Amino acid sequence: MRYAIPLGVFVILVALLAIGLRLDPRYVPSPLIDKPLPAFELPDLADEQTIVTAADVTGKPRLFNVWASWCVACRVEHPLLIELAKSGTTSIVGLNYKDARDDALAWLERFGDPYERSVFDQAGSLGLDLGVYGVPETFVVDTHGVIRYKQVGPITTEALDSVIMPLLERLASEK
């Protein structure tokens, strides 16, 4: 009987992987798309006295980028965000996720700060509402604060050119 234990473990593993394959990590979990940003009241990263709410980050189309100083993949997409911010095509709000304030600020200083502002979500509560399960993730939010697209994992040039930029242009003209 004990010789069958490895087989049992393996069957469970394969089942998990098979389910994992069907969940395409690069696409939005459907419940969130076309829903408004969840309500939140969280401190600003740079200034802990300031409280940011969902209303503060709506009013024009924005990118909502989840990042953390401990996240390796964030450094990969970071140059793209910097470039995007420099070009002025969109403004980016950061959601600093499960991080320490000092680490996060040092990280921004080190790699550059593309964010209009960053929301400091130390407990990960907003991240949970947003269904964040890997960092980085990026949401495209329209003028009314409705989530229109979600990118899981680092933003790639392909995703930026083929999906995100066209969507932002459409949103800008949509009003």
Partner 1 sequence: MIPEIGHFMLSLALAVACVQAVVPMVGAIRGYSNWIALATPTARIQFLLVLAAFITLAHAFVTNDFSVAYVAQNSNSALPIAYRLSAVWGAHEGSLLLWILILCGWTFAVTVFDKGLPPKFASLVISVLGIVSVGFLSFLLFTSNPFDRLIPALADGGDLNPLLQDPGLIIHPPMLYLGYVGSSVAFAFAIAALIQGRITAQAARWIRPWAIATWIFLTLGIALGSWWAYYELGWGGWWFWDPVENASFMPWLLGTALIHSLAVTEKRGSFKNWTVLLALATFALSLLGTFLVRSGVLTSVHAFATDPGRGIFVLALLGFVIGGSLVLYAWRGPSTFAGGSYEPISREVFLLLNSALLAVATATVLLGTLYPLALEALGLGKISVGPPYFNVVFSAVMLPLIAILGIGQFSRWKSDSPKRLIQNLAYPFSAAVAAAIVAMIMLGGQKMIAAGVGIGFAVWVISTTVFGIRERCRGRQHPWFTLFNLPRALVGQCVAHVGFACTIIGVVVTSFYSVDEHQRLAPGDSAELAGYEFHFVGLRTYSGPNYRSTEGNFELRRDGQFIATLKPEKRLYHVRNMPMTEAGISPGFTRDLYVSLGEPLDGGAWSVRMHYKPFVRWIWLGAVFMACGGFIAMFDPRLRSPAARRGEAPAKASSVDL
Q: Which residues in this chain contact partner 1 in the complex, by CB under 8 A?
A: 3-4, 6-7, 10-11, 13-14, 16-21, 23-26, 68, 70-73, 75-76, 79, 82, 98, 106, 109-112, 128, 131-135, 152-154, 157
**Which of 82, 163 has the CB closer to partner 1?**
82
The SS3 call for residue 8 is helix
- End-to-end CA separation in angstroms for the chain: 66
**Which of 159, 171 has the CB closer to partner 1?**
159
With vertex at residue 169, the alpha carbon angle to CA 164 and CA 172, rounded to the nearest 5 degrees, is 120
Q: Are strands 62-67 and 91-97 parallel, antiparallel or unpaired?
A: parallel
CA dist 84 and 81 (Å) reads 5
User: Considering the complex, what minimum distance in angstroms separates the CB of residue 26 from partner 1?
Assistant: 7
User: Considering the complex, what minimum distance in angstroms separates the CB of residue 63 from partner 1?
Assistant: 18
User: Considering the complex, what minimum distance in angstroms separates the CB of residue 60 from partner 1?
Assistant: 26
Helix (H) or strand (E) holding 17: helix 5-22
User: Considering the complex, what minimum distance in angstroms separates the CB of residue 131 from partner 1?
Assistant: 6
User: Considering the complex, what minimum distance in angstroms separates the CB of residue 31 from partner 1?
Assistant: 12
Residue-wise DSSP of 74-112: HHHHHHHHHHHHHHTS-EEEEEEES--HHHHHHHHHHH-
Residue-wise DSSP of 105-132: HHHHHHH----SEEEEESS-HHHHHTT-
**Which of 155, 171 has the CB closer to partner 1?**
155
**Which of 15, 51 has the CB closer to partner 1?**
15
**Which of 55, 73 has the CB closer to partner 1?**
73
